[in-house]
Amino acid sequence: SYVLTQPPSVSVAPGKTARITCGGDTIGSKSVHWYQQKPGQAPVLVIYYDSDRPSGIPERFSGSTSGNTATLTISGVEAGDEADYYCQVWDSSGDPLVFGGGTKLTVL
């Protein structure tokens, strides 16, 4: 089945830019979606179809894809952005919906 690889953790100082990567074979040919999950809460969709933001998600959140890597970028990081972030794709063969292993974002 399709595998998505994320770094286990990323740390960033407040006000700086955080970049969370998601690697997968030919991921550029797929649409990538990103979720934010705070402790004890359900995941929230923050980026869908590579770079679109759902209503209510700040413009500080953006997504991009290049080659075999998708990236979630959070500009001007705030303490409230501290959470686990998961990437996800839909793979029409095998296990259709695949999540990355998740990245814990720590705001220093």
Partner 1 sequence: QVQLQESGPGLVKPSETLSLTCTVSGGSFSTYYWSWIRQPAGKGLEWIGRIYTSGGTNYNPSLKSRVTMSIDTSKNQFSLRLTSVTAADTAVYYCARLHCSGTSCCLDYWGQGTLVTVSS
- Report the site for partner 1 in 63-102 (rule: CB under 8 A): 86, 88-90, 92, 94-102
Cβ at position 24, least distance to partner 1 in Å:
13
Q: Cα–chain-centroid distance for residue 58?
A: 14
Q: Which is nearer to partner 1, 61 or 86 (CB)?
A: 86
Residues numbered 10-29 forming contacts with partner 1, rule: CB under 8 A? none
What is the residue whose two structure tokens read 């399709």? Answer: 2
Distance CA 75, CA 78 (A): 9
Give the distance, in angstroms, between the CA of residue 40 and the centroid of all CA atoms in the same chain. 19
Q: Toward partner 1, which CB reaches closer, 16 or 32?
A: 32
- d(CA 87, CA 100) in angstroms, rounded, equals 5
Given the rule CB under 8 A, which residues bind partner 1? 1, 30-31, 33, 35, 41-45, 48-49, 54, 86, 88-90, 92, 94-102
